[in-house]
Chains A and B, each alone.
Chain A
C-alpha cells in the first residue's frame, strides 16, 4: 500500500539506520523550539491615541513643589478587594493570617513594628471594647467611655471618610499600639501598628499616611 510505504519511510527517517542520530535530531529540533520560546521578549513599539485626561487630573504641580517634593514614591497604592490604601515603602510584607487583609512589618529605630489591617463584620464588639482590648495588650488599664472620648482623635481620610485614631503607649512596659478604627455600615475596619514605646513616635507619620489613605 502506498500510504503504508510512506509511513514506513517516515519511520525509517525518524529512528532507523541503526546508529544514525535522526531521533536525536528530532529531539534537538523540539528542544530548540522550546528554547526559542524561552528567549526574552521581543522589543515592541506601539502607537495609539488616547483621550486627554479630565481637567482635575491634568493639573501640574507647582515646579518648586515638585523639585522639593519629599513624597517621591514614599508610598505605593495597594488595593485589597474593595479596600485601597497607600503602603509606605519602608514597610515590607508581614506574615499573613486569615484574619488580616493586609499585613506589614517595619524596622523603626532598630525595633520591629507589626502593622495589620483587619476587617470584621458589624460593630465587632464596639469601639470601647476593642480599644480596651488593645490597652490590655500593651499592659494598660481599661478606659471608660469618657476617657476614650478625650484620648481618641476623630480624623478624616483623604477621601473624606471619618475614622477614630488612638495612641496607646505604655512607657514602663515599652509597648505601644497606634490604631485606626473605621466604623462602617455592616463592618468595622481596624488598622493597627504595634511596636515599642521607644520607637513608636518614629513610625507614627507613616502609619498616619496609611490610615489617611484608606479608601472603601
Chain B
C-alpha cells in the first residue's frame, strides 16, 4: 500500500521522464544536435580561435544563439536564447544509453551484439569525460645540453609566490584552479593573513584611473583599472589579471594588481621573507626528466622552411637513462604522458626544442571502445545469419510462408 496518495501521479511523471530519457528518439535528436554543434564549432575556430571555440561549443553546458550568429556574420552580440552545449548533449546521450540498457535488461540473446556495441559507445563517452576533466596539455622548452622535469599548461594559469632567497633555485608556491576567480580567498600556512581576489579577468586591458583612489591601493592598482578584454585566439596569450586584497600582512596590507606579461615586479614581504608575485602558465612537475642532446633540422632546398625536425633526448628516470628520438610523427610515450615535437628555436646562440606534452589517462578509451563496438557489430551480424538463411528459405518456398513465419517467431 502506498502511504502517499499523491505518489501515483508523481511516480507516473517520473516513469514518463525515465521513458523519455531512455528513448531512442532522444538519442536520434541528440546526435543531430551534436552534428550541428560540430559544424558550427569547427567553423567558429577560424574567427574565435581553437581554444574559445572549443570552450563555447564543445566543452559548454549551455551556449547562446549569439554564438551561432557570430559564426555566420562575425559580429559579437549578447545572447538571448540558450541552447544545450556540447557537454550537456553528450551527457544526455550518455544517460540515454545507460537508461536504455537498464530498460532492456536482461538483454535477449538476439540483441547481445547491439548491447556490446552500446557498451562500446558508453566507454567512448566515458573516455571523453575523463579526457575533458583529467587531461592536461602543455609544453616544455629544453635547450641543447639542458634538461627539464617540468612543463607548463597551454590554457590554465597560476598565481605564483616566488621565493628567490635559495642560492641555486627559486622556491615557488602556486595557487590555481578554484583560486582563479573573483571572490576566492587564499589562506595558507605561510601567510599570516588572508588574500581575497577582489577582481579577476581572464584577459584584461588597463585604463588609467580618474578621480580619487582608495589609499590602500598600491602600485599599479592605484594607477590602473582592470577591464575585461575579448579573449585572444590562443589561450596562453591572454593577459590574465587579478586584484588582490592582502589582509593581516601588517605593513603590506592593501590591494595589489598582478597580471601576466607584466614588466612591473610586484613583491610582498611575509615575515621578513620577500616573495615575488606573478601570474603565469600553470607549472607541472614530471616524475622524470628529459635532457636534449641534439636538435636536428632539415630545410627544403633553397628555403628556410623546415622540412623535418627532430630531437635526440635522454629520458632520465629513477637512475636509468633511455635514448629516444622525438620527431614530427614519432612522439615519445611514457606513462600517461605523450611528448610531441612541436617547435624549435634555432636563432638563439643555443638551439632549443619545444615539446608539446599531453597527459591523458583516457587516451586508450577510443581504441578500446572502437574494438568493443566492432566486436558488437560482428556478433550482431553473426546472430543475424540464421535469420537471413531462414528468410531466404521462405522466399524460395512461397507456399510455406505462414508456417515458416510461425517457426521463426
> Which of A's residues lie within 8 Å of B, judged by CB?
4, 7-8, 10-11, 14-15, 19-21, 23-24, 26-27, 30-31, 34, 37-38, 40-52, 60-61, 66, 69, 71-73, 76-79, 89, 92-93, 95-96, 184-186
Q: Would you list 30 pairs from A and B whose C-beta atoms are within 8 A, ordered by A residue?
A: A7-B106, A15-B103, A21-B14, A21-B15, A23-B99, A24-B11, A26-B102, A30-B94, A31-B95, A41-B178, A42-B177, A43-B179, A43-B184, A45-B174, A47-B172, A48-B285, A49-B166, A49-B172, A50-B169, A50-B172, A60-B265, A66-B263, A72-B206, A73-B259, A76-B232, A76-B237, A89-B205, A92-B230, A93-B47, A93-B230
Distance from A22 Cβ to chain B, minimum over Cβ atoms (Å): 9
Distance from B202 Cβ to chain A, minimum over Cβ atoms (Å): 13
Within the assembled complex, what's the spacing in Å between the Cα atoms of A61 and B105? 71
- B331 at the A interface (CB under 8 A): no
Give the chain B neighbours of A95 by CB distance below 8 A: 47, 74
Shortest Cβ distance from A50 into B: residue: B170
Asked if B237 and A24 make an inter-chain contact with CB atoms under 8 angstroms apart, the answer reads no
> Which of B's residues lie within 8 Å of A, judged by CB?
2, 7-8, 10-12, 14-15, 17-18, 21, 46-47, 61, 74, 87, 91, 94-95, 98-99, 102-103, 105-106, 129, 133, 150, 158, 164, 166, 168-179, 181, 184, 188, 204-206, 220, 223-224, 229-230, 232-234, 237, 239, 259, 261-265, 283, 285, 302-305
Give the chain B neighbours of A66 by CB distance below 8 A: 263-265
Asked if B283 and A15 make an inter-chain contact with CB atoms under 8 angstroms apart, the answer reads no
Give the chain A neighbours of B302 by CB distance below 8 A: 186
Give the chain B neighbours of A43 by CB distance below 8 A: 175-179, 184
Within 8 Å by CB of B174, from A41, A46, A52, lies A46
Asked if B177 and A23 make an inter-chain contact with CB atoms under 8 angstroms apart, the answer reads no
Distance from A139 Cβ to chain B, minimum over Cβ atoms (Å): 28
Within 8 Å by CB of A52, from B8, B105, B106, B164, lies B164
Within the assembled complex, what's the spacing in Å between the Cα atoms of A81 and B168? 35
Distance from B125 Cβ to chain A, minimum over Cβ atoms (Å): 11
Within the assembled complex, what's the spacing in Å between the Cα atoms of A78 and B49? 13
Shortest Cβ distance from A102 into B: residue: B233
Asked if B99 and A89 make an inter-chain contact with CB atoms under 8 angstroms apart, the answer reads no
Asked if A34 and B91 make an inter-chain contact with CB atoms under 8 angstroms apart, the answer reads yes
Within the assembled complex, what's the spacing in Å between the Cα atoms of A88 and B190? 38
Give the chain B neighbours of A93 by CB distance below 8 A: 47, 230, 233
